[in-house]
Amino acid sequence: MHPFGKARRATRCLLLGMAAAFTFGPCAYAETWPARPLTLVVPFPAGGTTDTIARLLSNNLSRQLGQSVIVENKSGAGGTLGAAQVLRAPADGYTLLLGTPADQINAPLMLSRPPYDAARDFSPVGCVSRGPNVLVVNPSLPAHNVAELLRLARARPAQINFASAGNGNTSHLSGELFAQTAGIALTHIPYRGNAPAIADTIGGQVQMMFSNPATVLPHIRSGALRALAVTSRTRVAALPDVPTLAESGVPVEIYSWTCLFTRAGTAPDLAARLRAALARALDDPRLAQAIAASGAETFSPPPAQTARFLADERTLWGNLIRSRHIHAD
């Protein structure tokens, strides 16, 4: 064959190969995904509630996807270090984030130079869990219900302290939203974690706090703390005699939640596969039991409702953070 003929034939084969790649590449890629293990980033230390949920969820997702889902803890900076790690990975569906209000709303809004725009840079696969807080007070405080607490706070402006697990934590923002909605002045006392905040509330160094029900339930039952209200729409099964804040005349609804995210830009077909796998994974009763043990419930609304829920959360807490001038740095 003439050398020019060989060259033309090689060029033709190359062009055909490129055309095939453009025509069939994405489909072939989607058909083989996942071809290797996935990583589920938890933006908090091992051993916490979010980590426990993530490890059970990863096992269930592994079974559904036919590949290992490896949990990787990357804590720090209010959860933004772990979230930022996900954004450094390709948008190929192999790196996931178990996000919370801390890394998706609170820290990015409170930092003067946030590392990302959560609404723009992350795409929700679906939500996993949702749980309320409970308002507890030291028994020495002469308030046996929310109405009495409000009367006391109005008579003693800024003299009642509330503890939190840290500046910008959900327990902090819950107290701020409660005070703003009720029209009272409270003094915030931040701690390095939930345990010391609870200890000082029991000890009387601070008078009240908002906390996860499962964490303070033993202290409520022992009488070391008094529960005044829960922040959910309906009463909590473990505390059936404790009214909601709305029942008590303060119309707010507050939840801590976990949702599964990918990087924005992940192919729609991969996102759809992840949504289907997540829906099946959440059917496991062991996961539901672990979520219930943390004081929460399985929470998996359809995609449109998930997007609306997250948008409403960003509006609620964004308005609060700006109006109360809350900063993390």
Tokens of residue 125, six digits: 């696969």
This prediction's pTM: 0.85
Q: Domains of the chain (ranges plus CATH)?
A: 37-131+255-323 (3.40.190.150), 134-230 (3.40.190.10)
Per-residue pLDDT tens digits of the chain, which is 329 residues long: 544 454 455 444 444 444 444 444 444 445 689 999 999 999 998 988 899 899 999 999 999 999 999 999 999 888 999 999 999 999 999 999 999 999 999 988 998 889 999 999 999 999 999 999 999 999 999 999 999 999 999 999 999 999 999 888 899 999 999 999 999 999 999 998 889 999 999 999 999 999 999 899 999 999 999 999 999 999 998 999 999 999 999 999 999 999 999 999 999 999 999 999 999 999 989 889 888 888 899 999 999 999 999 999 999 999 999 999 998 75
Q: Is 88 helix (H, G, I), strand (E, B) or coil?
A: helix
> How high is the pLDDT of residue 253?
95
Q: What spatial distance separates the first Cα and last Cα of the chain, rounded to whole Å? A: 73
CA-to-CA distance for 172 and 105, rounded, in angstroms? 14
| Structure confidence at residue 278 (pLDDT) | 97
DSSP per-residue letters across 63-79 = HHHTS-EEEEE---GGG
How many helices (H) and strands (E) the chain has is answered by 13, 11
Do the Cβ atoms of 244 and 229 come closer than 8 Å? yes
Spell out where 5-52 has E strands.
Answer: 38-42
Tokens encoding 141: 């405080």
